[in-house]
Amino acid sequence: MSARLQLVWFRSDLRVYDNAALVQAMSQGPTLAIFIACPDSWQQHDMAPIKQDLIRRRALALQQELAELQVPLLLAEGSDYEAVQDIFRALVPLGIGCVYSELEYELREQQRDQQLQAWLTEQGIDWWQCDRQTAFTPGRFVNGSGSMYQVFTPFKKRWLQALAEQELTVLPKPKPQQKMELALPQLPVFQPGNGSSKDWSVDSEELLQQLRDYCQSRVQLYKKQRDFPALDATSRLSPYLAVGALSVRQCIRRLQLEAGNAIWQAESGAAVWLSELIWRDFYKHVLVAWPELIKHQPFQKDTTAIRWRNDKTLFAAWCAGQTGYPLVDAAMRQLNQTGWMHNRLRMVVASFLVKDLHIDWRWGERYFMRQLIDGDFAANNGGWQWAASTGTDAAPYFRIFNPITQSERFDPKGHFIRNWLPELAAVPDAAIHWPHKLTNRNQYPAPVVDHAKARATTLELFQQARQQAGEGL
């Protein structure tokens, strides 16, 4: 075997810009690339069909973008992670010298990589991995006792200090290589997807433009408007960050270039948006520090004892957007119909499921993953455990969102509600948050629970669990 080819294995880094694995491979010699769709493994991860479609569409776009660099991208269908080794075996006769990829933090992915690493070593093939899913590598920021921060604020302080001290590098798109003549092996045929994500562009230049536009203008209003779901005030870049079509470094660097010093002014839209990107890093650092979270364990161990009611009828009403609480229902219908939900509403519906319906947060976490185009284990788990008061830096258990007050505050005129609940279109502004008080509800359901009573039950459930855990109150 003549070890002459470099092989880039694209996984959660489906981009040509700021791709360290691609840059490193091409600096070492003639480069080939591969992407392997693993729908059975994706399903085991509860990956939503719309996210799977986005990945497939993005992989096809990537193939064209890499063709302009004269890098052939092989697209293969691997069913599950077990099949990955067989696909690599078919590539060995090409003379692969080294495989290049970006590290993935989740458990099954780590197991897959360990097995493949052992096999590649037997074949005499090297593996170069880089850790670039976050702006700063997990493990870098530790508290006085040498452990990862459990609280966001000190983590953020250290993170910002690092940003002030060190310019983040964003790697350019590599220059084209010499055209190669290769006799490529037959691989299981890649399926193009069903187009369900078609409302989301997969063209690199368009995504960069979207990022640029956002950082140039709308970000300025982010602090003021980000909590109002009827306004288009957030970036909607989460699906691209989730599949790696954009990197977090690209977002931060672009923000620095467009907003300049505003990122250091705590009250500016740019600083608040940056803070959200730091939350993204935070949850990934948390996951690496406490990998047991991947097994859906609560971070706060005493909450393991909570006796969730887990009423299946109530869960079905929540999933379908039929709880009788308009903002909750409008949000769930947005999720079901588009695969995306506004951040304020993710907090509201998560709190409602756990603290009004007393359903285990893991049911909601899983439902979200099965629907979201931007499903990301670390952010989703972090968000759910925050809302359920079971996680790192979680909301205190006695802080319980009131779904009516949230509705009045963040959708005052009911624009968002009416958009997603057509049955309430004719309800006047004064009643839009309280349609259950109307005599004619137009088939809209009565509230499935009474918030005040549900709140009291939540406090009891948490207190019982704490007593059981021996901590008392």
Ligand X SMILES: Cc1cc2nc3c(=O)[nH]c(=O)nc-3n(C[C@H](O)[C@H](O)[C@H](O)COP(=O)(O)OP(=O)(O)OC[C@H]3O[C@@H](n4cnc5c(N)ncnc54)[C@H](O)[C@@H]3O)c2cc1C
Task: Please spell the DSSP secondary structure of 193-228, one letter per residue.
Answer: --STTTTS---HHHHHHHHHHHHHTGGGGHHHHTT-
For ligand X, the binding residues in 22-51 under the rule CB under 6 A are none
Beta bridge pairs of residue 447: none
Closest residue to ligand X using C-beta atoms? 383
Sign of CA pseudo-dihedral 263, 265, 269, 272: positive
Tell me whether residue 281 is exposed, middle or buried, using C-beta atoms within 10 angstroms of its C-beta: 0 to 12, 13 to 18, 19 or more: buried
Catalytic residue, candidates 119, 308, 336, 408: 308
Quick check: is 408 catalytic?
no
Q: Two tokens at 418?
A: 């009416």
Residue number with CB closer to ligand X (242 or 427): 242
Binding of residue 299 to ligand X (CB under 6 A) = no
| Residue 79, CA distances (Å) to 42, 76, 96, 189, 436 in order | 9, 9, 23, 11, 48
- Draw the binding track, 211-230, toward ligand X (x: CB under 6 A; -: no contact): ---------------x----
Task: Pick one of 96, 379, 395, 449: the residue that binds ligand X (CB under 6 A).
Answer: 379
C-beta of residue 25 within 8 angstroms of C-beta of residue 98: yes
Binding of residue 242 to ligand X (CB under 6 A) = yes
Q: CA-to-CA distance for 318 and 252, rounded, in angstroms?
A: 36
Question: How many residues appear in the chain?
Answer: 473
Binding of residue 286 to ligand X (CB under 6 A) = no
Give me the least distance between CB of 242 and ligand X, in Å please. Answer: 5
Binding of residue 387 to ligand X (CB under 6 A) = yes
Catalytic residue, candidates 279, 340, 386, 420: 279
Binding of residue 329 to ligand X (CB under 6 A) = no
Going by C-alpha positions, the residue among 355, 382, 359, 352 that lies closest to residue 369 is 382
Binding of residue 391 to ligand X (CB under 6 A) = no
The H-or-E segment that residue 172 falls in is none
C-beta of residue 281 within 8 angstroms of C-beta of residue 136: yes
Binding of residue 383 to ligand X (CB under 6 A) = yes
C-beta of residue 173 within 8 angstroms of C-beta of residue 16: yes
Stretch that binds ligand X, among 316-324, 330-338, 377-385, 419-427 (CB under 6 A): 377-385
Give me the least distance between CB of 234 and ligand X, in Å please. Answer: 3
Q: Where are the beta strands (DSSP E) in 23-176?
A: 31-37, 73-77, 96-102, 126-130
Binding of residue 276 to ligand X (CB under 6 A) = yes
Q: CA-to-CA distance for 131 and 136, rounded, in angstroms?
A: 9
Binding of residue 384 to ligand X (CB under 6 A) = yes
Binding of residue 96 to ligand X (CB under 6 A) = no
Task: Pick one of 69, 252, 287, 347: the residue that binds ligand X (CB under 6 A).
Answer: 347
Binding of residue 207 to ligand X (CB under 6 A) = no
Residue written as token pair 């519906």: 349
Binding of residue 280 to ligand X (CB under 6 A) = yes
Going by C-alpha positions, the residue among 355, 309, 304, 354 that lies closest to residue 469 is 304
Quick check: is 308 catalytic?
yes
Binding of residue 235 to ligand X (CB under 6 A) = yes
Give me the least distance between CB of 97 and ligand X, in Å please. Answer: 35
Binding of residue 351 to ligand X (CB under 6 A) = no
Q: Which residues are catalytic?
A: 276, 279, 308, 343, 361, 384
Which chain residues interact with ligand X by CB under 6 A? 226, 234-238, 241-242, 276-277, 279-280, 283, 343, 346-347, 350, 368, 372, 374-376, 379-380, 382-384, 387
